[in-house]
């Protein structure tokens, strides 16, 4: 199931009664962000603002990822894991090569024809009068350093592999022709920029795209395994290749986007970005990031602008994190085969706390899994990893608490590591992007780990369970009657 573009998705939401269309005039200066956050907290569906103060030609859409249910609609299934499982089973087989090599080799198979990006004439046209100030960029919190694109997609091309990357990075508008791109050090945008720098190229061609099919917007904000083209990955999850158009600067953009800004990032022009009210619920202080210089703007007729606001959880980024958790679990199992399940809790800030269950088969496996996870993609940002046994439901925080309380000796089972890469938005970090991490091995211990045998867990006598079942049901029924 694939939506052709944002408009087709809006049409779908209208039919399902899952979009609230707002005719009252509302300002992009704090008002849209406030209403949107309140809507997400209240689990209201997507919002379409039809009268945006100061921007009569635009509509603004927010709250597109208002809960995990929005992803069930977008992907046409509530079993997000199955999408990647099927893909792995059907296309990746059991070839004895590494994940990344496997993924790179995928495009060579003819059966991939349907999911490969396809060239298509764009629906947008160049608009010479438009500039960065003509977009309804949001100010999201009172002390934000300016107006921001909060759900625009920054598209870069790796100069070595030519792999295209789409990523959601916030962009702070400076003036008609300049903006600041907030890509963090380990993100693919910055990695590509560093490669251009090594090649002696200081002006990195990019496109800033807004208003696309929600599956593409989601994939842009997801930690797709490095080396894998995000257009190809979007094709995998949509079941249909993305239609693309090549700009004059060589960047491929979705042909059905609402708006496209073509230009380059000037690596010699670093400016102070921020402060910005961020996903931890605090303002991140200003820091230096490179400047984007606009060359051309392309717009669709009556364009729609996609935006969001982050803040204290759970907002849209928390639900994106949940979908990432489900969709990427099967891929993660290729790297950490003992992994059974994972939970990035909504209130754990996505990069704050991760809980993982494993099939433990040998001593030391809990810490081994922890280190493998910290070494995998954006999981390297996780501040706290908790490892539990496979019989613990990672989504039930009480079960996790019990596992920690009943299996952990802090000196033996807690791992603290210092001066490692962390989420640079985390204000608690002493020297961003470097900080410390904590791992808790809350698995039952082997003899080698504890120095003696692990005690036997209490278990009821099966005969007594059978004998008492009728009496127990009677007591439960009596209680139900009393409480009615």
Ligand X SMILES: Cc1cc2nc3c(=O)[nH]c(=O)nc-3n(C[C@H](O)[C@H](O)[C@H](O)COP(=O)(O)O)c2cc1C
* Catalytic residue IDs: 278
CA distance 384 to 436: 9
Q: In 254-396, where does DSSP find H-type helix?
A: 316-335, 365-374
Minimum Å distance from CB 212 to ligand X?
Answer: 14
Minimum Å distance from CB 317 to ligand X?
Answer: 5
Closest CA to 102 of 254, 287, 227: 227
CA distance 401 to 328: 25
CA distance 39 to 29: 17
Residues in binding contact with ligand X, number by CB under 6 A: 21
Note whether 146 binds ligand X by CB under 6 A: no
Minimum Å distance from CB 468 to ligand X?
Answer: 52
Minimum Å distance from CB 373 to ligand X?
Answer: 16
Note whether 172 binds ligand X by CB under 6 A: no
Binding part of the chain for ligand X, among 113-121, 160-168, 254-262, 436-444 by CB under 6 A, reads: 160-168
Note whether 144 binds ligand X by CB under 6 A: no
The residue from 132, 168, 323, 387 that contacts ligand X (CB under 6 A) is 168
Residue whose tokens read 């990035």: 344
Binding part of the chain for ligand X, among 19-27, 102-110, 217-225, 476-484 by CB under 6 A, reads: 217-225
Minimum Å distance from CB 135 to ligand X?
Answer: 16
Cβ-contact 22, 83 below 8 angstroms: no
Residues 361-380 that bind ligand X (CB under 6 A): 378
Minimum Å distance from CB 237 to ligand X?
Answer: 14
Pairing of strands 384-389, 434-442: parallel
Neighbouring residues of 259: CB distance < 8 A, sequence distance ≥ 6 = 124, 135, 209, 210, 211, 297, 298, 299, 300, 303, 305
Which 3 state secondary structure label does DSSP give 296?
A: strand
Note whether 189 binds ligand X by CB under 6 A: yes
Through-space distance between the first and last CA atoms of the chain, rounded to whole angstroms: 46
The residue from 146, 159, 223, 314 that contacts ligand X (CB under 6 A) is 223
| Tokens coding 108 | 């060579």
Binding part of the chain for ligand X, among 69-77, 182-190, 364-372, 451-459 by CB under 6 A, reads: 182-190
Binding map of ligand X across residues 301-320, x = CB under 6 A, - = no contact: -------x-x------x--x
Binding part of the chain for ligand X, among 185-193, 241-249, 387-395, 406-414 by CB under 6 A, reads: 185-193
The residue from 40, 62, 140, 221 that contacts ligand X (CB under 6 A) is 221
Cβ-contact 437, 383 below 8 angstroms: yes
Residue 360, CA distances (Å) to 384, 399, 447, 451 in order:
20, 17, 13, 18
The residue from 183, 264, 292, 305 that contacts ligand X (CB under 6 A) is 183
Which 3 state secondary structure label does DSSP give 141?
A: coil
Contacting positions for ligand X (CB under 6 A): 150-151, 165, 167-170, 182-184, 187-189, 221-223, 308, 310, 317, 320, 378
């Amino acid at each position: 199931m694939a939506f052709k573009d944002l408009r087709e998705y809006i049409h779908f939401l209208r039919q399902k009664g899952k979009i609230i269309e707002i005719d009252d005039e509302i300002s992009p200066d704090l008002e849209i962000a406030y209403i949107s956050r309140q809507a997400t907290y209240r689990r209201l569906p997507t919002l379409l603002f039809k009268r945006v103060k100061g921007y009569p030609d635009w509509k603004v859409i927010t709250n597109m990822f208002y809960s995990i249910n929005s992803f069930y609609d977008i992907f046409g299934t509530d079993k997000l894991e199955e999408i990647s499982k099927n893909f792995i089973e059907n296309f990746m087989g059991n070839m004895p090569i590494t994940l990344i090599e496997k993924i790179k080799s995928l495009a060579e198979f003819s059966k991939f024809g349907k999911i490969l990006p396809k060239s298509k004439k764009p629906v947008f046209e160049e608009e010479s009068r438009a500039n960065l100030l003509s977009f309804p960029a949001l100010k999201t919190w009172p002390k934000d350093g300016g107006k921001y694109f909060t759900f625009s997609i920054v598209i870069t091309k790796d100069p070595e592999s030519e792999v295209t990357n789409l990523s959601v990075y916030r962009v702070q508008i400076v003036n008609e022709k300049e903006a600041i791109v907030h890509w963090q050090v380990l993100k693919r945008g910055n990695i590509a920029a560093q490669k251009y720098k090594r090649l002696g190229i200081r002006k990195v061609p990019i496109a800033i795209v807004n208003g696309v099919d929600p599956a593409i917007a989601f994939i842009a904000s997801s930690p797709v395994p490095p080396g894998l083209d995000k257009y190809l990955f979007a094709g995998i999850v949509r079941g249909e290749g993305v239609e693309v158009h090549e700009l004059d600067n060589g960047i491929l953009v979705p042909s059905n986007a609402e708006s496209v800004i073509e230009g380059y990032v000037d690596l010699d022009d670093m400016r102070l970005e921020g402060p910005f009210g961020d996903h931890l619920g605090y303002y991140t202080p200003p820091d230096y990031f490179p400047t984007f210089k606009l060359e051309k703007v392309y717009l669709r007729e009556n364009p729609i602008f996609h935006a969001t606001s982050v803040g204290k959880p759970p907002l849209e980024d928390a639900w994106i994190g949940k979908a990432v958790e489900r969709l990427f679990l099967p891929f993660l199992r290729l790297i950490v085969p003992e992994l059974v399940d994972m939970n990035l809790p909504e209130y754990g800030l996505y990069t704050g706390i991760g809980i993982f269950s494993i099939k433990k088969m040998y001593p030391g496996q809990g810490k081994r899994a922890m280190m493998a996870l910290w070494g995998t993609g954006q999981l390297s940002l996780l501040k706290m990893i908790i490892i539990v046994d496979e019989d613990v439901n990672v989504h039930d925080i009480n079960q996790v608490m019990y596992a920690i309380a009943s299996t952990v000796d802090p000196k033996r089972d807690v791992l603290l590591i210092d001066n490692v890469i962390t989420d640079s938005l985390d204000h608690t970090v002493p020297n961003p992007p470097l900080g410390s991490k904590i791992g808790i091995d809350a698995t039952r211990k082997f003899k080698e780990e504890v120095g003696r045998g692990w005690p036997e867990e209490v278990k009821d006598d099966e005969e007594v369970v059978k004998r008492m079942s009728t009496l127990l049901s009677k007591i439960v029924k009596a209680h139900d009657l009393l409480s009615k």
